Chains A and B, each alone.
Chain A
Amino acid sequence: MTASKTITISAALLALASAAAALLGAGPAITAILALISSALAAMAAFMPGGLRPAKAGKAAASAAPEGAVADGNAARNEGGEKAAAEASRLARETEDKRAALLDAQESAQAAAQAAAQAAAASALRRLRFADSVLAKVPVKTEEAAFTLMDKLVALRDQSAKAADAALQAEKGVFDSRAVSGLAASARSTIAGVRVALADMRKHDKDSATGLRNLGQELKSGIELLTGIEEITERSRLIAFNMAIEAARMGEKGRGFKVIVGELRALNDRTADFSKQVSELLGRFKKYNESLVQTSMASSGKVAEEVERGIGEEERTIESLLAASTSCVELSDDVTAVVRAMNHELDGILESLQFQDITRQMVEGALETIAEAEKEMAPIAHRDETAATREEDRRRVEELRSILLARAKTRGEKEALQEVKK
């Protein structure tokens, strides 16, 4: 991996961190992890072959310097004799010594730099592995959360379906209620008709009572007329008696006349009996009529009162039925509206949950990048571990865990961080 590629991945991971933070609501921890991965990759880039180039260039320059000095010594021996040659030889030796010392120092510095690079890379690798193990839990945890949520949604949708069914039944009831209100209107009309009929009946009763009273007056007149007949009968009896006296005086000549008187008497008697019987009969009729007037008036009043009370109760029942019907219509409308709104909300939640899949794919991409980085860092980080370096690494991981735990906002994040193996 080149330094530029590493930096590109770091930038991509930072972008991923922001996206994951927005999508999962677990942003701070994941952002921190990915920031750490990013810094680890940046640290790794610093120790890539490209990063060591300046040291190699320095070594080349140091190697070039002594060769120039030897050439100068030889030139002096040729031009200036023994002394000069000795001086030149001394200078050459000094130069050689300096060159050797410089090379030793350079090698030591290079070895120290290499050791430092290995230690830093090993530490970065450990942090990468820690980040990897935390990140790997993200899809699992979000999937668990999504499934739990969906199970709840399914339960809610079932309940909602039942509510919708109940609302449908209520709607049916509403139609029944509407039918009831039609019936109620019809019943109201019928009751109004009954009231008219009742009023007619009262008037008719009143007319009947008046008729009966008039009949009573007629009967009374009839009885009075019969009294007149009795008087006439009494007079004709008196006339018959006188005629009998006259017939006796006439002797044999009045015999036929006597027969007529006898018949007249018999007629008078029968008329008197008839008159008496008719008078008694009319008297009884009069009593019956009076009794009938009283009874009829009392009964019809009672019946009218009962009918009136019944109609009042019927009207109250119809009114309360109509009120209940109206409430039922309103309630079923409310339930239907709530169920529709709830189903719409559920659809929205199902849409939001698709982000879990998108997040999973992003995290899988990040894990692949981390795996690639680990593979490339492993040779660099290879070194002899000591108790001191192990302790230092452990301390750093614990420090990192504490920071992430402090930033974690959800229980799931905290559990995931705690579960990561030390």
Chain B
Amino acid sequence: MKFLIVDDSPTMRKIVSLALSGAGHEFAEAENGKMGLEKLGAGGYVCVLLDINMPEMNGLEFLEAKGKLPALAAIPVIVLTTQDEEDLRKKALSLGAKAFLVKPFKKEDLLATLAKIGL
């Protein structure tokens, strides 16, 4: 299974990729929402792990744009953010995110969340 990690922090991308590869999954990386949409459009991804606070196109804008593209709308998104705010959580979930994890998160929490959505 191939995952797309969308985060402007190289450190976070590396941490998430290590967690995924440790569980035997494949992955690709994007630095912001815009690049994430481009990569997602190429196909082959089962899930997106999305940061919120990013330059160019932030996580909420990514969710909104992805929701308008029928070919991509069904791909599940898990939000990974440092902003532990209830309003943000509600907004992300209303825009189609399947789960909302606050950084720092445990590897087992991430894998349990993936398992919960059948991955």
Contacts and interface: CB of A to CB of B under 8 A. Distances in A.
A356 interface: yes
A74 interface: no
Contacts of B82: 357-358, 361
Interface in B63-119: 82, 103-108
Looking at chain A, what size class is its interface with the partner chain? Answer: 20 to 34
B104 A358 contact: yes
A153 interface: yes
A351 B106 CA distance: 6
A350 B53 contact: no
Interface string A223-239: 00000000000000000
Interface stretch (B12-20, B29-37, B42-50): B12-20
A153 B22 CA distance: 12
A157 B22 contact: yes
A361 B12 CA distance: 12
Contact of B11 (A143, A154, A347, A351): A143
A354 interface: yes
Contact of A350 (B9, B10, B107): B107
A46 interface: no
A331 interface: no
Nearest to A354: B104
Contacts, number: 52
Contacts of A352: 104
A257 interface: no
B49 to A, nearest CB: 13
Given A147-B10, A361-B82, A350 B18 contact: yes
B18 to A, nearest CB: 6
A91 to B, nearest CB: 72
A146 B15 CA distance: 10
A327 to B, nearest CB: 31
A357 B9 contact: yes
Contact of B53 (A143, A154, A356, A361): A361
B105 A154 contact: no
Contacts of B12: 354, 357
Given A360-B9, A361-B82, A347 B108 contact: yes
Contact of B107 (A147, A150, A153, A347): A347
A145 to B, nearest CB: 10
B10 A153 contact: no
B104 A154 contact: no
B14 A147 contact: yes
Interface centre among B11, B19, B108, by most chain A C-beta atoms within 10 angstroms, is B11
Contacts of A357: 9, 11-12, 82, 103
A350 B19 contact: yes
Contact of A355 (B14, B19, B104): B104
A354 B105 contact: yes
Interface centre among A352, A357, A360, A361, by most chain B C-beta atoms within 10 angstroms, is A357
B51 to A, nearest CB: 9
Nearest to B53: A361
Interface of A: 143, 146-147, 150, 153-154, 157, 343, 347, 350-358, 360-361
19 contacts: A143-B11, A146-B14, A147-B14, A150-B11, A150-B18, A347-B106, A351-B106, A353-B15, A354-B11, A354-B12, A354-B104, A355-B104, A357-B12, A357-B82, A357-B103, A358-B103, A358-B104, A360-B9, A361-B53
